[in-house]
Structure 1
Amino acid sequence: WSIYKMPGVLEVPMTVKVAGQVQPATFTVYAIVTSSDLQFDQTEVDFGDCSIYNSVRSSVCLTNMSILPQDFGFPGVPECIKIRPNDGFGTLLPQETLKFDLIFSPKIAKEHHFQLICKSGINRDFPLLCRAVAFHPPLQLSQSL
């Protein structure tokens, strides 16, 4: 086999000899080497400050760098995060980019630091760092009689 004139293309000449046939069948098999990377448009998401009674939304884009379709998903997402669309699961077509909304809804007032892991169909991990500060609002209203 040899590397074809174009980068990332392999050329493999083949010869098949069939019993009872004088002429062998010759042909060439070509293979294109492609990446299996998925790529976020940012390495970190900062949700900023958020009350424990509110939600904050941030958008990220995920791109399939391959020339083949790739399945992906976000398993083990923390309870304070929702991913839209499709709960963060799907298939990206070749070179396709998909925009996701990450919705942060904290239940505990504290600094949050966590990773969202996007896992590809061939079990590769693509991490996205996230951070936020959740707080109790300074004023709470109550109903009195």
Structure 2
Amino acid sequence: MKKGEAFLGIIFVSFSALFGALGYGLYQSGRSSVGASQWPIIVCTIIFFGSIVVIVNAFRVKESKSNLQLSHEEKRVFISIFLLIMYFISVVFIGFFVSSLAMLYTFIYYFGKFKWYVNFVFSLAITSITYFVFSYLLKVSFQFGVLF
């Protein structure tokens, strides 16, 4: 049994059940289209069943006594998850535009290895386009955080 995989599977089952239940409280459109409440429920259902598969596989496979060293790819995944968690926290306190600009610059730098000005131009363009589409075309408010 791989205890870490079983533990993460239980955490994801719990979160998917919680957020799936919270999805029922959202606005439901008519029966013919997928609305605001159906998307979270669909995603949570997929995560729920995927986590059940992970839990079952964790109990079926015997744990090998291998070295606990992480590979380069695994380290990159953990760093990416940490950066995304920091991004979600910073969006609430700092604001969407500045946090997204910093997050995109960091990811492009980390994964792309371009020059600093190319990183900045692409992160500025992507953040600006996203802000414009959501603010002006879709009328979604970004009224949170201290900065823009």
* Structure with greater proportional strand content: 1
TM-score in terms of structure 1 length: 0.19
* Structure with greater proportional helix content: 2
TM-score in terms of structure 2 length: 0.18
